[in-house]
Structure 1
Amino acid sequence: MSSTATPTVEIDPQTVVRKVTRNVIPFVFVLYIVNYIDRANIGYASLQMNKELGLTSQAFGLAAGLFFIGYFLFEVPSNIALAKFGARRWIARILLTWGALATAMGFVHNDFQLITVH
């Protein structure tokens, strides 16, 4: 009977924290900024946007509510994709998509476009 010993790898906690700080925190920071801008955007814009786009309070409420319903429905599939593609690639994809949709919000002209983009 031959016994092969598996080498043990020592993980230095300071090295792990340093790598996470250097690689993950910048992505998370940028995502947080985009998230804040996106959430605040619709609230701040609602006063003038409702009048300019001819939105009723119901249409605005529907657009704002669909944002949270979409977030709820896509959270689990997004986490599955995160495991498949890796955190770095998936968070970068989220960042780009989120930024593009937040930018597209500036070009809507009616309630249907607002609901579609948001």
Structure 2
Amino acid sequence: MTMVQMNVRIDAKLKNEVEEVLKGKGVSVSDVIRSLWLYIADRKEVPALETTAEEQAREEEKQRKLKLIREGAGYVHKELVKAGLISEDTDLMEGLTYKQFRDKMYDEQLDTYYNMKRAD
């Protein structure tokens, strides 16, 4: 069998990350490339690999969903303020879990109630 050498251009950071993973698994870069080429030769198809376009589409969808979440939080915030359950300066996006947020709102309501009782 005649062997050939191939040269490939790849991002240096990506190369280093992959080499670390492969080193941890005890596999060489050449082993992985040979396996890929054997896979393609045997099956006459390229394995399902994510393309840059697919990656970009997934990231755009993620950003779209995050925008909807932020807009929804803004709407909820406005409605809670209107209902008098929270103050205008309460930050709904401060990284609390739902339970933490609920408990915080409950505590604020209790404080408001007791302050009203004291004023009477």
What is the TM-score normalised by the length of structure 1? 0.37
- Greater share of helix residues, 1 or 2? 1
Q: Which has the higher contact order (CA 8 A, sep 6+)?
A: 1
Give the structure with higher Rg (CA).
Answer: 2
What is the TM-score normalised by the length of structure 2? 0.36
